[in-house]
Structure 1
């Protein structure tokens, strides 16, 4: 097998997910959307549209996850080198 300089191209196709939210969480999302819209001087966004940026922010700021991800990459690199 040839050793190529390019890594495999990531599949960036969005994945559709269906989930049920507990009613209190949906109410909080709705309130959050109202506050967010009010602060921006706009109408509130659809609460469902908040889920992706909230998850992205959560993952981006989770230090434990970042550390584990780094360690996992190091283990994979070591396994490939060894």
Structure 2
């Protein structure tokens, strides 16, 4: 059970799923494996309007862009480390 604080720009929806066997017993579909490759194209694109809406959602809770600078730097370092792997 979890709770979500009210948010004027967010309408959360929850669902449950029953999976008949452990996920590790089911192979990943090829389309999903292809999306995990470093050179994969994202299936969705965000334009400036979508980015603005996302920032508005975050700002309502006190988000300030510089707060996540460390996260972006971490992702860049992880990406560089993955690219160096044989």
Q: Same fold (TM over 0.5)?
A: no
Give me the TM-score of the superposition, normalised by structure 2.
0.31
Which has more helix, going by share of residues? Answer: 1
Higher relative contact order (CA 8 A, sep 6+): 2
What TM-score, normalized to structure 1?
0.32
Q: Which has the larger radius of gyration?
A: 1
